[in-house]
Structures are given as structure tokens and as C-alpha cells.
Structure 1
């Protein structure tokens, strides 16, 4: 592939979209920085991603304009960055943008010295001035003038900014000796929107890690907050009611109008949240259970149908924009309907019914008379499925949004983990095959000379090494897959990745940097213990270390996880809404103090096929943090778990205490939930729907 600038051979589809811009874009790297040093020009750094609507808008308005390009090419070294490919660059320059402007987002526009230190930043700039907001041409002209006439001042300011921001990547010291998890959960409940579900106001994000945390312990009020949020999102326009999956966020507080990009990571994490939500739903409420399962199955259907790449693995995202019937680009046009369009697709009777069920109005709920689809009431399930299938078939005739075929290691790792959990809970071995195929792709393509690569395209790995989240998420997915399949080679691979991760990312305080010790040096080394919007690299590594420690008998991994957990405690206590993954770990640790330490549940014998009834029951009942290992009696590789265990049943071990093997579901639940040692557990109001059958998740 070629272009008029330096992006034609990029491995990022987002960068390739800019290969024919008249701006002489470079990829971030030694060549671009050397060019800036050689010419003495400041760097224009533009950071975005393929599914970003406003990134496309600014590109169309400014980056394709020859007059703008002439100014940029004469006075700057222009560098384009895909934030998904280089989260380290995105993270450190986002921190600078927030410090300089008080806000941040994408497209992110940063001006740097030739050494890569930021001195001015912003986000989207329009092609012409809009009130107090300057145009992009005004900005680049002013920056050029300042650099020519006040360069020393700009360089001094950039150095001061870089030095000040270096401290911003050190986690605040630690929180209390023992976290008051009930107080933290109450903070989340206080942030809950009781009218619309979810947290905060517009724009509104799903926060799946927070929902996970609220479902961990089973305290009634917390579970209610999570379930009401899951319900509201499932019914809202943020949820693709026809094709399954979720858009990234909504611009309103009521979940009606999303920004229409669909990200792999959001859907992987939400698949986990809805699976756990199903487990927390009482079996005497079949409508609610159906809703949770419908959403989970919809996500997996979307993954299998629209996100698998030809080379293997799952693609990164679907764009927010697509073409209308006249070839004009619009945000959301692929997903929206009018009453007339429904009638054309379904006929008068079903069209009128669909308009009522999905709240499609003549005025429209979006723009230009179009409506997003929202599920109203509890319609007949069979008719809903039939009508939805017909509408989806009709939608396939529209121009589909652009798919970013880049495979991101971390996002695929989270997807593998979520698919394994959902497959075990809902009894779908085909979903395990989706997970296994993605895992094989990562192992064959992304692991090069024992090190993990961040991204690949068309089966070719990019040169950028993996980050902490990549190592943690892929190790987590591999270990979970090995457990549910009873194939220890996946566990061995997880161990290998974690051993490398401990070398690359370890910090002196026991935590983890996001960028490896061998990574390119920026003005600061990326490190953020907050979730935003994916789990932090530190929290992801902690979760993987704890699971693999149980499965592989690695107490040293537990020790490293405990050390790292101290470094995220302050983030949980100060702002739990952005530390849900760390809160999950803290809640598991709190349960361990009362004797409910994470257990290993080894399922021996039974069917030779994956997901026997006993495996499914164990997975459904097991407390969060349990390592479930399944396989026939002759399963190899997990020798220390299966040795001398030939009697069919489930062997549950918590610490040094093991329970008698059992195939009786009530006995199994007792073993899984029995506390061994520890202090007395505090009394809490039980969540509605906690019960003692095979579907309990208490």
C-alpha cells in the first residue's frame, strides 16, 4: 500500500486512512523525531482512532485541505498516532492535554518541541472560528509564530510541563491499611442515577467493571444498583437491539442516543457483566433472566458474525459513521429507523408493532427524523426475535460501517476470558471454539521470540511491543481457556507471559508501569492505576496473577499481586467509579479475610466433551475468583491437581483445606462457599434472588 506521505505502509488501518492526506504525516518513531531535530521544527502530534466520529470530521475539514497542509508541511513535523496501537503515547500526551486545557479527548492535538515535550494542546479544532474557539488554521499559524519568535519560552515551558507531569504517573500513596469496602460500595451507590440507571450524567458510559464489583458480594442494595443499570442499558439506544453488542457511550443521560462506534473491549467487558448479572438474577424472575441472556447471546452473535477477521482474532472496532443511500457519510445512519422504513421492511402490521416496541417515532429520537431503537415493555419473545431477524436482514443491505481489522492483544484477551465464562454459564461449546481460535491466533502471531506484540493486521504483527494490559489480559484469557478445556498448555503459556511481564513492568513500589522497561522512552513512563475505560494494566495483571497462581501453584505470583494491590488502593478509595477492576480484587480480598479465600475447583470425570453438566454447575455456583479446572480423569498437564483424583466429582480446595469430592449440587455449593479460618464475616442484607440451586452466585 502506498500514499503521498509516510503512512502508506503503516500496520494501523487508522493511519492508512490518512495516507493520502496532503499533510506529510509521519508515524511516531525514531525517523520522525530525527526529522524534527534536524529541521528544528515543532511537532504537530495528532492522536485518534478509526472508530472516532470527530476524528473523521477534523480529518475531512482540515487534514484534506491543501491550504492547511501547506502551512503544516512548511512549519511542522506532523506525526499521526493510533491511540489503540500506542496507548503509551496516548496516555502521556492525554495527561499533558488535560493539564494544559482542563479537558481531554479525541482527536487530540498536541504541539511539542523536537524532543517530544508538549507545550500546547487541544482536541478538535474547526476549519473556521466558532465563537471563542479558534480555527485549526489560526492555531497552527499562532504556534508557528510563537515558535519562531519565542522559542526559548516555549521550550522552557515544555520542560517544566514534562517535569511536573512525570510525578502525575506515580500512584498516590496507598489508602488505608484495610479498605472499608462497604463504604466504597456506598460511594458508588451515591453516584447511581436512580431514574435512568448507570452513573453520573451525560455523556454516560457503561462502566462494566463497576457493575462487576457491585455484583461480587451480593449485598442487596449494590446488586440492585447493578441490575437496574444493566436493565436500562439493555433497553436503551446504546444497545444494538438488532445486531447485538453495545455502542461506546451515549450523549444523553437516558441511554437513548449513542456515539455509534462499537468497540471490542466494551463488548468483551459487558459480556462478562451481563453473564454475571444473569447469575445474580433470581430464577423466579424468568423475564429478567431472559433479558440478561438475550443481551449476552447478542454480544456473542455480533462477535462471531461481524468481528472475526479472516486471519484470526477479533477486529478492534466498527466505525460510528457509514454511507447513506446517496453515498453521503453520516454518523449512526446504519443503525437508525423511521416508522416508514419499518413498514417497508416488515409490512403494516409488524411495522406498526415494531415502531411501538422500539419507540420509533415520526419526530425521531436522534436527528433528521431518525430514531435509535429502544426496547419498550416486555414484548412476546418469539415475535421480537422474528421481527428483529427480518430487520437485521434488511439492515445488511445498507452500507456497513468501516471495520478496523487491527487485532489488539489486550482486547482479544478480555474477549477470550468473557467467552469462556459465558460459554460455561450458558452451556455453549461453540463459544469456546471462538475463544480457542482467537487464543491460537494470539499465540501464533502476537508472541514473537517470547515477547507479546500489541497489534497485528492481516496476520502480520506490528513492531510495537505489548503493554501491561496486553500481557495481563492475554494471560488471563489463556488461563481461563486452559481451565475450561482442561488443556494445560494454555496455562503454561499464561505462566510464560506473566514471568516476562514481571520483568518488563515491575515498579520499585511493587506496582506496575504500563509501558515496559524496554519500551521507547517518552517524556514520562506511562503508568495509570485507574480504569479508563478498560481495566488498568496494573489491575489486569493482578487478576491474571491471582488466577494463574491458583491453577499453577505459584505462591510467588500471589505475593506480587498483593504488593501491586497496595498501589491501587488509593485510587479505589478516592474514585471507585474509575477503579472498578481494582475494587473487584479488594472485595475478593475482603472475603478472604473472613475465610472465603479463592478456591480451586477441579472437575474430574464425566463427559469427555467440554461443558458437562457438572462443569456448568460448578462455574455457575463458584464465587468470584475461583479457578475452575475441568477435564476427564486422565487430563494431562494439571498433574498436581488431578493426581490420585480419579473418582468422578468436583474437588474443592481452599488454601490447605480440601473437601470430599462430590457430584451432589447442594454439597458442591456448600464446599464452594464454606469459609475456612479467617475472622467472622460481617452480616449483610442478602441480595434478592440468592438461592441454593445450581444457578446460585452468592
Structure 2
């Protein structure tokens, strides 16, 4: 018998629709039921690709005795954290206060007034390994509710007050300068693993935003180890098992320090962010292998995570056929049978495939040394070897695609799509791949056609024809940022107009005019027990940091100092956190890098599709210019006086007989105009 989740659209909620637990969604009816019944709420938050969420479901939520106890004593509510990140933020803060750590599945017990009084993450069904059993936890919570309710309520009030305080960071008034970047770099260098790559020990996450901070810092301080750290880290990940050497794309994280054994789930946001850092590393180093990884990761998303409507889907699971990683691993015999003895043995040697295996008796493909290093050691031609290995990998991918794939979370989230659109648009120019720009524009068009409510406000989630849930700060900020990049990739004014509209809505509904910065939820959002300011990067950039980046970019393009002031205030709100927790504020540090400058406005009068202007734009897009904005119009089509871009083009005329004229302005001063051909030599950060 289905419970109340059967009518939901979230794949995660639908996974639990046949549990014997009488799950309810988070809605008004469920919350009223808790008040009317005077029962505590058991709130379980997870997501579809979460391995331990699946484990707890099978062990506890499909357990008849546990389900009966939950149904009798609790109002059980199941939430997809990706649909409701607002709830996830609030109650994750509570769990971290209660236990000192967090994670998913998140299990929180609330009063009918939605205030937490106990919580944790995963519990086994019965006590084992020093952990209490979920059955014991439920009885203890119910005993406290029945016999010591006054204490539980007092504790819940204290937690609620603390949660409200956490969300109220205000303008610190601190100066925003290069010292923040120096301090952040010193800390990142101090925790960097110069042997295996990555920041800190196992488990290891990609830390793309920290890598971007280092890449930018390497331009300021070439004598530092910043570029060395980025290149080393990207090398180690691309050779490790965290990277899918057949289908492209990256798994969520590595459970070991060497990047060998991934947690096999693949998330859209990770692959969006990793595409971006590999593209930028290619721009700096011109290394073909970084371009290849970026291209293969984009292709993975286009081939396996793209909805028929053009939007990008959320994730592929870690498990297939009930076993983590089964889809991805190989035996030596399978590979030799597929490739033949000569090519098969060679492939196994290069990709670390053995009889005994490197993962629970099976093999995760990885490269202990680069293909070029192997070729040099064997005195074979590296180009020919790579070509043959490409054919081998294509054959193995075809065989793997015939296996039972991991389940997919096919919902389309506005915020994550914004990240992917941005990276595809960047990759298109840097790699010379027009199909990536076409896919980015198609996805953006889908969002604007489908993910707006009747009032023109963004929606957060879409699946199978249904768009729903009021958008959050990062939906607006990520999509606005993507639209600016689409404008710079196409010079189509509609993208800039959309970025401006989104930014205006973001300021109107999310900004805190008194304390500065932005709330995660809008001013007319559902009333919750706290309203947070999203300042910490997690697996995705914080909403405030992306808002600051957007406002800085728009300010430079539009000549609007009000937007600059909004961005500066957001940075000052986050300044104490940037000093204390640089690894949790990487995206805001990139905003600081842009703000500190020197920032450039590149203005072009020329036809972007032909001649020297086209050649300049190709060179510009292959260069690493993270603090620049660029605008272009064909000669004779200068914007109207009241157009958004009128200020940046004001007073600019083409040089006589020039096939494109380029104006470069830096720190409120403009250099003399040069021809597009001359400008290629002036490119830089």
C-alpha cells in the first residue's frame, strides 16, 4: 500500500512511497496533523543518490516493527534535500549543534511547532558497532516526549533561538582587500597534500572553489605554489578512480586519500564545477589533457544527464542492482574478452586491472601513471597509443552501457542548471566546441520557458512536465551568472536583459537592507523557524557568494555603482568567515579577487562572426581572464541611449579602416583604442 508520498514528483520521495512507514510530504496538512495529534515529528531528509539513505530505508523503513512504532507515535515526514534546501540548511544546523557532525540521511525529531529537540544521521535498526539502534532511539525519544516533555520543549526553544541567531550575520564593516586572499592562500597551502593532491585527508572532495582561488592567486603571485597545487590536484583526480575513464565525468568524492575508490554517485553540480576548473586550468597551462577531461565531462552530461526538454538532470546513483559501484567495475577476464589478448593485456596494465582487483575483488579503472609516461617507459609512440586506447575505451563503454545502469534522479533544478550552463558556455569558447554553447542556450531557454510562475518569479524544481517550489537565492544567482556568461559568449542582448531582471528580483526579495547580504529564502517564502543567510560553500557555491559575483559582473558591464555597493556589502557580511574558514568561502574569495582587481572592461566595435574581431574573440575565450567583462556590438549599431549597455559604449568610435576596434579599460581608466589584431597581443588577466 502506498503512503502519502505516492503523489510526489521527487524520485527520492517516490523511492519511499511503498515503505510501511506512513510517510507524509512536508506540507500544510502534515504539519497541521502533528499539531492536532500532539505528536512529535520524525523528519527524515536525504536525496536519491545517497547510499546510506538507501541503507537506512532497507534496514529500518522497510522493517515492519519499526514502521509500526513510527506510525503509532510520530508524524513521519520525508524531505528531498535537493527540493527543499531551506529545510535542509535549518535542520542540518540543528543536527550539527546536537552531535557535532552532520550528513545524510538526516534524522531530526521536532515538536509540532517544528522546533528540533533531538537528532542525528544514520542509525542501524538495532544496536551494533557501538551505535545505538534506531529502535532504541525511537523509544528514548518517545519516553522523553511522554515523561519529560517540559525538558524537551525547553531544549527545543533554545535550539530554535540559536538557529535564528545563526542566520543573522550582518555587515562587519571590515575592509575588503588583498589580505583576505593572502591569508586564504597561506591556509590552503598549509593543508594541501603535495603527495596525493587534495586538501586534507580521506575522504577527499574535489574542492573546486578552493582550486579556483589558487588558480587566480597564481596570477597575482607567480612565485607561490598555487599553480603547482592546482595542476597536481587536477592531475591526480583525472588519473584516479574518481574520474570515469570510459564515460567521462566525476563521482562525488573519493573514500581514500589517493582518489582511487570513489563514492560512485555522480552529481550534476560536481561535474559542472569540475568542468569549469579544468577549462580554466587548460586556459592557463594549454595542456591538452585538461581540455580532454573538460570535454569528456561535458559530453557525459550531454549524453547521460540531459532531459529531452534540454534541462540537465540531477544525479546518477552510486548503486546498481543493489550493489554500490557494480555498474563501473571490471574483471580482468571481461576486458581481455572484449579487447583481445594483446590490446586487453596492455589496457589492464595501463589502467591498473589485476586478477585480484583493487576494489573488493573487482577493478576500478585508474591510471597509476599518465599514458604519456607509460608510452615513454615502453618506448612506444604516445599519440598512436592514446588513439588505440580511445578505441578500446569506446568499446568498453559500449559494453558497459548494456549493463543495468544506476537509477537516475531526473529532476531538473534551476540552481544546478545555472552552474552547468555557465560551464558549458565557458567550455564552448575555450575548447572551440559550438555544441556546448548550443546545449547551454537550449537549457537556459527551457528554464525561462518552463521555470517561471505567472508573476515572472523563478521556480526551483521540474520533473516530467511539472515545475514547482518557489526558487531560492542560489537559483536566481546561479542562473543570472549563467546568463551573463551567455551574453559574453553570444553578445545576444536577451541574455543580459534576463540577468538584469533576475538580479533585480534577487535584490528586491532576498536582500537584507538592514544587515546586508542576502537571505536564502525570499521575503514571501513559507514561514519557517529561521531565515538563513547562505554564506558557507558546501558542495555548491553559497548563494551570497554567487550573488556578489553576479553584482560585480553586472556593475562593470552596466556602469552601475549601486550594484557594486550591494556586492561590497555582501562581501563585508562574509569577511569574518573568509578569515576564519577560507575553505568554506572559496567562491566569495573569487568575488574578492574580482573586486580587488585589477578588473578590466573589454569593449569591442566589430562583427563578432568575421575577420579580426572573430579572431580576437577566439583568442580571448581561450585566455584566462577571470576579472574581465566583455561587450561587443557591430559598428553602426551602438545601443540606444537608455539601453543597459549604453554607458559602456558611450563615446566610443571605430578606428578608421580597422576590422574591429577594441577598447580596454582598467581601474576606471581606458587605454587607447587598438585594432582587434593588435589587441590579441594585449590579452592577460
Cα drift, residue 192 of structure 1: 0.3
The 8 Å contact of residues 21 and 68 in structure 2, kept in 1 or not, is answered as yes
Paired position in structure 1 for 2:674: 662
Name the structure 2 match of 1:684.
Answer: none
Match of 1:615 in 2: 617
Within the candidate set 257, 260, 265, 1:256 is matched to: 260
Moved more, 344-353 or 38-47: 344-353
**Cα offset, 1:645, TM superposition:** 4.6
Q: Kindly indicate whether residue 562 of structure 2 is the aligned counterpart of residue 550 of structure 1.
A: no
Partner SS for 1:141: helix
Q: Give the TM-score normalised by structure 2.
A: 0.92
Residue 366 of structure 2 is aligned to residue 364 of structure 1: no
SS in 2 for 1:451: coil
- Match in the other structure for 1:275: 279
Matched, 1:413 2:418: yes
Partner of 1:227: 231
> Which of 143, 156, 176 matches 1:158?
156
| 137 and 298 in structure 1: CA distance in 2 versus 1, 3 angstrom threshold | same
Is 2:52–2:105's contact at 8 Å kept on the other side of the alignment? yes
Structure 1 CA distance, aligned partners of 2:315 and 2:613? Answer: 30
Segments of structure 2 that go 5 or more residues without pairing to the other structure are 373-384
Flag the 1:622–1:602 CA change in 2: closer, same or farther, 3 A. Answer: farther
- State the Cα distance separating 1:528 from its structure 2 match: 3.0
In structure 2, how many angstroms separate the alpha carbons of the residues matched to 1:446 and 1:372?
39
Q: Distance in 2 between matches of 1:50 and 1:557?
A: 38
Deviates most, 369-378 or 513-522: 369-378
- Taking the aligned partners of 1:494 and 1:66, their CA distance within structure 2 comes to 51
- Which residue pairs with 1:583 in the alignment? 589
Q: What do you get for the CA RMSD once the two structures are aligned?
A: 2.1
Q: Cα offset for 1:420?
A: 1.0
CA distance in 2, matches of 1:459, 1:600: 41
Structure 1 position 668, deviation (Å): 3.9
1:33-72 counterparts in 2 under 5 A? 33-72=31-70
Measured in 2, the distance between the counterparts of 1:400 and 1:209 equals 30
Q: Measure the CA separation in 2 of the matches of 1:665 and 1:167.
A: 56
Would the aligned equivalents of 1:413 and 1:476 in 2 still touch at CA under 8 Å?
Answer: yes
**What corresponds to 2:182 in structure 1?**
182
Question: Residues 581 and 606 from structure 1, CA distance in 2 versus in 1: closer, same or farther, beyond 3 angstroms?
Answer: closer
- 2:536 pairs with 1:534: no
Looking at structure 1, the residues matched to 297 and 604 of structure 2 have their Cα atoms a distance apart, in angstroms, of 29
Deviation at 1:650, TM superposition (A): 2.8
- From 662, 668, 680, the equivalent of 1:650 is 662
Q: How does 1:307-346 map to 2 (within 5 A)?
A: 307-323=305-321, 329-346=322-339
Pick the aligned partner of 2:528 from 522, 530, 533.
Answer: 522
Task: Sort the Cα spacing of 1:260 and 1:610 in 2 relative to 1 into closer, same or farther, 3 A.
Answer: farther
Structure 1 residue runs of 5 or longer lacking an equivalent are: 284-288, 324-328, 674-697
Structure 2 residue aligned with 1:206: 206
* Secondary structure of 2:44's aligned partner: strand
1:214 to 1:371, Cα distance in 2 relative to 1, 3 A: same
Cα 1:26/1:609, change in 2 over 3 Å = farther
Work out whether residues 176 and 571 of structure 2, in 8 Å CA contact, stay in contact via their aligned partners in 1: no
1:420 and 1:480 in contact (8 A); partners too = yes
Across the two proteins, how many residue pairs are aligned to each other?
655
- Aligned partners of 2:649, 2:482: CA distance in 1, in Å? 22
Higher mean Cα deviation, 97-106 or 344-353? 344-353
**Residues 354-409 of structure 1, C-alpha deviation per residue, up to 9 Å, x if partnerless?**
11111122222221333343463224321221111111111101111111111111
Q: 1:580 to 1:665 in 2, by over 3 A?
A: farther
Counterpart CA distance in 2 for 1:466 and 1:606 is 35
Question: Could you report, residue by residue, the CA deviation over 1:74-101 in whole angstroms, capped at 9, with x for unpaired residues?
Answer: 1110111110111110011001001101
* Displacement of 1:540: 0.7
Distance 2:600 2:539 in 1: 27
Q: Does 2:506 correspond to 1:501?
A: yes
CA shift, 1:131, in A, is 3.1
Q: State whether residues 488 and 638 of structure 1, in contact with CA within 8 Å, keep that contact through their aligned partners in structure 2.
A: no
Deviation at 1:541, TM superposition (A): 0.6
2:395 equivalent in structure 1: 390
Judge conservation of contact 1:621–1:669 (CA < 8 Å) in 2. Answer: no
Which residue, 245, 255, 266 being the options, matches 2:249? 245
Q: Distance in 1 between matches of 2:471 and 2:258?
A: 37
Question: Of residues 456, 463, 468 in structure 2, which corresponds to 1:450?
Answer: 456
In the alignment, what sits opposite 2:489? Answer: 484
Equivalent residue number for residue 626 of structure 2: 624
